[in-house]
């Protein structure tokens, strides 16, 4: 059986304690993976934009499973984007207000919104928001 894909988590796995990696060493390894037809994927709870910032020279070649799987991009093409309706988002926020939650982060493809609790429910939210 041959290896077809290598997927890595970022924080505390691929990245060191300084949130960095040996780019020269990795690029040498990545070229070898490509030569063998092995795909490389990054899987993380982090946002897509943050993940691509670690791999600027190959971001259009590799796969990203971002936002805990809610946003997936392969070779620069969006494969999947999970979303919640505005009503669902408001219901989640109302449910969170029952607990001692101080802040909520709502993430989308292009932005993230930090909200202090309790939240006024008349805020306008885009439909394609991802809770994280």
Instruction: Enumerate the active-site residues.
Output: 9
97 in helix, strand or coil?
coil
For strand 103-108 and strand 112-116, is the pairing parallel, antiparallel, or unpaired? antiparallel
Lookup result for tokens 């799987």: 69
C-alpha–C-alpha distance, residues 70 and 53, integer Å: 18
Lookup result for tokens 């006024």: 120
Contact criterion met (CB below 8 Å) for 62 and 42: yes
């Amino acid at each position: 059986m041959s290896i077809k894909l290598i997927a890595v988590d970022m924080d505390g796995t691929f990245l060191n304690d300084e949130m960095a990696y040996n780019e020269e060493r990795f690029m040498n390894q990545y070229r070898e993976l490509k030569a063998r037809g092995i795909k490389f994927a990054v899987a993380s709870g982090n946002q897509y934009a943050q993940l691509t910032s670690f791999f600027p020279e190959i971001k259009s070649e590799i796969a990203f499973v971002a936002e805990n799987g809610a946003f997936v991009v392969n070779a620069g093409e969006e494969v999947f984007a999970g979303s919640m309706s505005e009503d669902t988002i408001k219901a989640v926020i109302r449910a969170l207000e029952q607990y001692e939650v101080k802040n909520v982060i709502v993430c989308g493809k292009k932005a993230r919104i930090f909200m202090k609790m309790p939240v006024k429910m008349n805020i306008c939210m885009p439909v394609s928001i991802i809770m994280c």
